[in-house]
């Protein structure tokens, strides 16, 4: 199966939520500072973008329940 890279750009306070969801899903990823202040870029290695999308949506749903943090 071909490995693909997917990039996810998130607000920095969401990082622990996304890390937990990706780790529970068994994904390998790297993080770096994002393109703007207070953001992170996560590069995720996957063979199935559709399954990754489910994990990302779950993380984003959890984060949206946290509300906006400054």
List the pLDDT tens digit at each of the 70 positions of the chain.
678 999 999 999 999 999 999 999 999 999 999 999 999 999 999 999 999 999 999 999 999 986 555 4
- pTM listed for this prediction: 0.86
22 Cβ contact list (under 8 Å, min separation 6): 29, 42, 44, 55, 59
pLDDT of residue 2: 77
**Mind listing the domains of the chain with CATH numbers?**
4-65 (3.30.1370.10)
């Amino acid at each position: 199966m071909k490995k693909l890279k997917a990039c996810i750009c998130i607000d920095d306070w969401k990082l622990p939520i996304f890390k937990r969801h990706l780790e529970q899903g068994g994904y390998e990823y790297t993080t770096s500072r994002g393109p703007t202040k207070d953001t992170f870029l996560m590069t995720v290695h996957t063979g199935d973008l559709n399954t990754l999308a489910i994990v990302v949506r779950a993380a984003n749903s959890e984060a949206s329940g946290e509300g906006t943090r400054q």
